[in-house]
Amino acid sequence: MKKIILAVLVLCFVLLVGCTSSQKYPSGIDFKLVAYFKAHPGEKGNNGKGDVSVKTYYVSNFKDDPQVWADIEKHAKNETWFEGDSLAIFYFNDEQHTPGDIVTLAKDIDTALNFPDSYNQYCVAGYWKYPNGNEQFIKYPLK
């Protein structure tokens, strides 16, 4: 009986540590979700058959480095996407200049995707995944 209790305690500890530790990237960057917009078919200007999502992330410790770019692209490709949906993700290097409520509270897709130009110089990467599964990753997409 003691072995079973010990095994359960060890398993709980492993699960607790695994669930509470944040994902670390080799380059030392980390991501903070700042804004999230979603439109189901027929709402907020979405005339397509799938959902449309727009996300903005602040990238801490950003530097123009091959490992950083690889980590950002890996992060983007790990975001949830379902066949038929559209996903746009923008990554920014300054938390104060990362669009937040202007995207999250947008009344339509166009507003969510076309935030003010004052944010453009801080956008370091963009990632798009289209309904057919095609992907596009662009460094400095708004410059």
CB atoms within 10 A of CB 88: 20
User: What is the model's pLDDT at position 21?
Assistant: 42
Give the C-alpha separation, 113 to 102, whole Å: 10
Q: Helices (H) and strands (E) in the chain — how many of each?
A: 4, 5
First to last CA, the chain: 64
Distance CA(59)–CA(7), nearest Å, equals: 39
pLDDT tens series, the chain, 143 aa: 666 655 555 554 555 544 444 557 888 999 999 999 999 999 999 998 999 999 999 999 999 999 999 999 999 999 999 999 999 999 999 999 999 999 999 999 999 999 999 999 999 999 999 999 999 999 999 98
